[in-house]
Structure 1
Amino acid sequence: MDTKSELQQQLTPAERKELIALPALVIRPHTAEEEFEYLRYVLDNVSFSRQHGYSFEIPDNHEFKKLAELSPNFDGVDWDHTKSLFKDQLYDPSFYNAGLQALENERPRIEKAFPSFLQFNKNWGFKVYPMYDLALTRYGRGGTSYEDTGKIIMLTRRDGTFKRKHPSHTPIHEMVELGIKQLALQYKLTQGERERFVDHLCISGLGDLVPEYKFQTDDPDLSQVGDKNVDPFFSDKSLINLTDALNKYVSRYPRE
């Protein structure tokens, strides 16, 4: 029985109508073309990653290591040659198989977060996408999301493990980050502030779906990102009215 069928048995007739709005979830590997374009994005953002304390993966290849050193000044780089090198020698479709299986095993858990997303949407405008496109990569920082499409790119390893210990953590984290991105822009939150609010929402609002989820500042496997000044302003009431917590926070820490 799929997730929607299970939920339908638990809901009232009025609530069942909302089931139509539950998002779809696609889990797939990056194509060679997508992987190379994403790798270019990773290389373009080497300075940002280092500035914010993010570790990142690039190919264990002399040419790509040199590009990371050059970033962001790529004048004279022959990208056509680099793409051919990548596709012919580095891209390996079998690399993603174990990670794909691990995520498919977690599909029911991830999809069970969707009704909470719809409730957050009703309560305070959390953005819910009609489809979340979860694409696996072997490069980058761990997880990246695109607000315009709902695409989430997630780093995996050949053995099917991820940056976070539990496979469901990064997809749900990135979906929550997408959901509050407009509010984060509206309130001019810093990267650390936004990440802390996301962690709070995951732990307080979705805790049973993200077992052993930790704040990024408390997880030695992750970059130590997150502004603890947020903590006194977040409570269970924030799940019902996050904007109230945001208003109080920026009142205490005014934006420029």
Structure 2
Amino acid sequence: MASNRRALVTGASAGIGEAFARELARRGFDVVLTARRTDRLEALAAELRERHAIEAIVAPLDLARTDAAEALVAALGDQGLHIDVLINNAGYGLTGYLDEQPWEAHAAFIQVMMAAPTELAWRLLPGMKARGYGRIVNVASLAGLVPGSAGHTLYGASKAYLIRFSQSLALEAAGTGVHVTALCPGFTYSEFHDVNGARPLVSKMPGYMWMDAATVAREGLDAVEAGKPVYVNGRMNRFIKWLFKVLPDGLALKMTERQGRRFRVRRERGGQG
């Protein structure tokens, strides 16, 4: 059981983020839960307090704001709260071709998916190093390990960034007591595909391609505790990673494009998934 250790979970109101919050609380960590949906955060916090007798703090926040990470860390500091575990989970999908969305939508996506997790790690890492203990999990995706596909222009790119960022940060933190892991799940049961409108399409995937969020979170915490810089959830996903690594680039790209057509959601200009 953790003692006097606290975890910050972004995107904690549903899906993998909620599962991380539950698993951390089960392991005895106090938690700070952040997302945009205050009602869901408060309900989850109340449940975790009652079930696990831990401290659960709700910090509603929109990470699309460029000042969000700084404001959150400052607020925690003002309360004398340090963070030992950072779960960078907040994210969403932005469907459609690059020029079908206004730049403001892309800028917000880049802020949430890349800038915010990087800044949170940058702001919290010094304290972790000073205390000789820290865990950072950047929730990436199998999509960051396979060729890009049309219609989700920035999604795979943002996840590939998180993977490389995590590898570099893990090397930089070696010997300090801080572990960093890029977690790479594949299809996971959550609200993600409902939000971006892809549910009818991804529902065509066979059951063996799917994992539950609780398993993804549990394996993610085990992986970062073991000091693994990159962890891919599920045997099938690990096989897919291996396959695209050994295939010639041209063939791999064609296979990704062919598969991507099955799950492509097109949006009118100005829409957001």
Normalized per residue, which structure has more strand?
Answer: 2
Instruction: Give the TM-score normalised by structure 1.
Output: 0.31
Q: From the CA coordinates, give the structure whose radius of gyration is larger.
A: 1
Normalized per residue, which structure has more helix?
Answer: 1
